[in-house]
Amino acid sequence: MKITLHDIGRRYNREWIFRHLSYTFSAGKSYAILGPNGSGKSTLIKVLTGSLSASEGTIQYERTSADICLVDDVYNHLSMAAPYMEVIEEFTLSELIDFHFKHKSYLPGYDKESLLQLSQLQSARDKHIKHFSSGMKQRLKLVLACCSASDLVFLDEPTSNLDVQGENWYLDLVQQTIGAERILIVGSNQPKEYSFCDEHLHIQDYKLFK
């Protein structure tokens, strides 16, 4: 998988969030999208995932034999975790995992039981999500994203609501699940979240518009 950005920009009303951004994301690498709060990191991630459209420029998704149509197909090839993503709180943990993997495949080597063990939430398998703490919900979102068999993994502010033990767990999770065939993109302003990334994209570099 490869993502190529050709001079893309995104604006709200008349204000440009970023502009003239050309970049290539390649399989087997991890990338950090960096910038202060409110700078546009999450906006760029939403554009990359197809949740928002670019106001200008084009995005090309390439696999081995054919391009992927952004609107119709790319969602099949990605997984994501972010603080602003909702989970279905009426489900138990077990029910939510089953529901998620009706739409996604497990990463090779993982199944429901190994995912529960990796999440360290085994004792809560029959607990409703509405009774989870914010940290438990964040672990759940992260493990679902990383353990889905997707070419693209997006993690926006991944250690939000995690304590120090949870932060170490996150780093182990990424090390175990992100292999050479995937693209990992982390949106962050915390070095502890992206210290392992191969390349850094600074959103501020695309705010000086000419």
Q: What DSSP letter does each residue of the chain carry, written as one string?
A: -EEEEEEEEEEETTEEEEEEEEEEEETT-EEEEE--TTSSHHHHHHHHHTSS--SEEEEEEE-SSSEEPHHHHGGGGEEEE-TT----TTSBHHHHHHHHHHHSPBPTT--HHHHHHHHT-GGGTTSBGGGS-HHHHHHHHHHHHHTB--SEEEEESTTTT--HHHHHHHHHHHHHH--TT-EEEEEES-HHHHTT-SEEEEGGGG----
Q: What is the CATH number of the domain that holds 177?
A: 3.40.50.300
Domain that holds residue 68: 2-206
Task: Give the chain's domain count.
Answer: 1
The pLDDT tens digits along the chain (210 residues) read: 899 999 999 999 889 999 999 999 999 999 999 999 999 999 999 999 999 999 999 999 987 656 665 556 788 899 999 999 999 999 999 999 999 999 999 999 999 999 999 999 999 999 999 999 999 999 999 999 999 999 999 999 999 999 999 999 999 999 999 988 899 999 999 999 999 999 999 999 998 654
